[in-house]
Amino acid sequence: MHGKLFEIIEWIESGKPTLIPYDSKRRHSLIYQAIQRGNHSMIVYLVENAEFLPWETENLIGWAGGLTKDLRAGVISMFLDKGIPLGSATANDIFPTFDDDVIDRALKQGLSLRDCEGFADVLIETNVARPLLRYFRAYRKEYPDLEVEAIIATKWFVKQKRKKACALLGWVGVDTNRPIDDDSPYEPPEDNFHKTILDEVRLDADTEEILKLLKIKVTEDVWWHFFQFTVWLYPQDMKRVLNWIKDPEKIIQSNPKQAEEVLDYALRYYSLKDWHFVQRTKKQELEIIQAAQHLILFGTTCLLREPRSYRDYRSPMYASEHEEEVAKLCWLMYECGDEDQKQRVYNLVKTPQLKRLVNRHESAFIRILFPSKKNEAEAEEEYQKLSQKRISEMDMKYFSSLKTG
């Protein structure tokens, strides 16, 4: 502990023991104390002349990972030369040596790159030191765990908006489309939803810059990824996202399955009265309802597949302050749907409370849904003429108009 090397030499050369009791604590280990104090000469002498317990040998390289930068690589290299196993050593002990030979030998001996103290931690703690990029490119094919850890680190940098690190990892070509379990190297995943790097990019003023730094092109798939959130969760960002592409209506109409999912979320969540993480304004609610109306106008199918879906659709309708737009929404779902959807809309509206709400603003529609025998054919003909006129007057370039509106 006091760095008295000559006393240690005299002790060992006189034949006195250096092996501590098996159940001793780490602080009783001679080599541990030498490493803690960075006494290079003492470390070398003890390794060459002292006896160690198995658990000491197992931890030698890991302990050496805590040495100062000028000592770490040399000491670990010496340990490896003497055949000392990696033991508990982690990527966070080895890679910060920035020594090509040490890193190469450790990898060949089976160095673990994953989990706590893995390669992701090295990237984060060094803010992506440039030599790490060279190692990543050189070894990524031979050691696939490097790719996984790089994705974990990139997701963390994206969430923290560390733009320099995002730029470096984007330049080196980290896979932005690969979903993995871990959200960060420090916390276990909260659920089974496997997120990609793209899933961590949030919609705000920095979104486009972050995408550019990560070399993520705004393809149709990427555009859909963000558009679905604007429609039901962040309507205030819809204009920004719509400006990323030329003809949003064309993309919506050519991707019916994705449009159905977006519409389904919009219909469930346009009126959020009890969600603690969203404060929906009256204006935002109206924007989402109108977006849903126009998705329906393009032929998008609403997903009323199960009994629970009806409850999920009705709840925001009852809570909305835009009764007239809600009634119009129900009418459009019926008028623009096939026979199956017309039946589903009938099942949706048939409850007394919703029936009264729609009737206050779309009485002709209610008369068609629930006809009386008197003048039924005449009412149907009149309703069809009125519906066709109303639909023809609706803005078929609604989303494009928002770009410049």
Instruction: Give the pLDDT confidence of 58-107 residue by residue, as tens digits.
Output: 999 999 999 999 999 999 999 999 999 999 999 999 999 999 999 999 99
pLDDT bracket for residue 189 (50, 70, 90)? very low
Candidates 319, 250, 257; CA nearest to 285 is 319
Do residues 61 and 86 touch, judged by C-beta distance below 8 A? yes
Mean pLDDT over 181-186 rounds to: 54
Give which of 321, 82, 79, 237 is closest to 94, Cα–Cα.
79
pLDDT at 271: 83
Per-residue confidence at 323, pLDDT binned at 50, 70, 90? very high
What's the confidence (pLDDT) of residue 192? 39
Residue 89 CA, distance from chain mean position:
30
What integer pLDDT is reported at residue 188 of this predicted model? 45
Could you tell me the residue ranges of all domains in the chain? 1-110, 113-216, 220-405
Per residue in 98-124, pLDDT (tens digit) is: 999 999 999 999 999 988 899 999 999
3-state secondary structure of 230: helix
- Could you tell me the pLDDT band of residue 191, with boundaries at 50, 70 and 90? very low
For residues 127 and 164, is the Cβ–Cβ distance under 8 A?
yes
126-139 pLDDT, tens digit each: 999 999 999 999 99
**Cα–Cα nearest to 123, from 99, 139, 147, 102:** 147
CA angle 394, 341, 303 (to 5 degrees): 90
Could you tell me which residues come within 8 angstroms of residue 175 by beta carbon, excluding any fewer than 6 positions away? 147, 151, 197
Query: For 276-290, what is the mean pLDDT?
Result: 83
For residue 154, what pLDDT is reported?
A: 95
> Percent of the chain having pLDDT more than 90?
72
What crossing angle do the helices spanning 323-335 and 307-319 adopt, rounded to 10°?
150
* pLDDT greater than 50 at residue 190: no
The per-residue pLDDT for range 206-242, each reduced to its tens digit, is 999 999 999 999 999 999 999 998 988 888 899 999 9
Q: According to DSSP H, which parts of 161-306 are helical?
A: 163-172, 197-200, 207-213, 220-232, 238-242, 248-254, 256-269, 282-297
Mean pLDDT for all residues in the chain: 90
**What are the CB-based long-range contacts (under 8 Å, 24+) for 128-135?**
128/153, 128/157, 128/164, 128/165, 128/168, 128/169, 129/96, 129/98, 130/168, 131/98, 132/95, 133/168, 133/171, 133/172, 135/95, 135/103
pLDDT digits (tens, 9 = 90+) for 309-319: 899 899 999 99
Sorted by sequence, the CB contacts under 8 Å of residue 50 that are 6+ apart come out as 12, 18, 19, 30, 31
Q: Which of 63, 187, 175 is nearest to 116 (CA)?
A: 187
pLDDT of residue 181: 67
Task: Say which residues have a Cβ less than 8 Å from residue 307's Cβ, sequence separation at least 6.
Answer: none
The confidence band for 322, taking pLDDT boundaries of 50, 70 and 90, is: very high
CB 262 within 8 A of CB 307: no
Q: Which amino acid is at 237?
A: D
